């Protein structure tokens, strides 16, 4: 068995103590729900996946990804829910 070397970590530990690996990332294509958006954001911020890789892999725009990150930073993970967009959009 051959294991490819990478300069990035194979796993990252999130603030809640859970461990995130590449296997935990959402499938492609995916139905976007708040938890999957948060997983991708955590993977990018933790260095498991580069921003460019995430944008290409999930066919996201810069603006879309940035909006997710800003929403989480300002209001927490609940701001990623589609039903909450109206509530947080004009705050």
Residue ranges covered by each domain of the chain:
11-89
Q: What does the pLDDT look like over 23-45, one tens digit per residue?
A: 999 999 999 999 999 999 999 99
Long-range CB contact pairs, 62-68, < 8 A, 24+: 65/40, 65/41, 68/37, 68/40, 68/41
Split the chain (91 residues) into runs of 10 and give each run's mean pLDDT: 72 92 95 95 95 97 95 90 66 51
Instruction: Return the CATH number of the domain spanning residue range 11-89.
Output: 1.10.10.10
CA 21 to chain centre: 12
Its pTM stands at 0.83
CA count, 13 A, side-chain hemisphere, 36 = 12
């Amino acid at each position: 068995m051959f294991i490819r070397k990478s300069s990035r970590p194979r796993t990252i530990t999130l603030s809640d103590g859970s461990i995130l690996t590449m296997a935990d990332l959402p499938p492609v294509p995916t139905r976007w729900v708040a938890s999957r958006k948060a997983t991708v954001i955590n993977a990018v911020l933790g260095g498991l996946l580069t921003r460019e890789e995430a944008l290409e892999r999930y066919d996201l725009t810069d603006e879309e990804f940035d909006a997710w990150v800003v929403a989480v930073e300002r209001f927490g993970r609940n701001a990623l829910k589609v039903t909450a967009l109206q509530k947080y959009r004009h705050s």
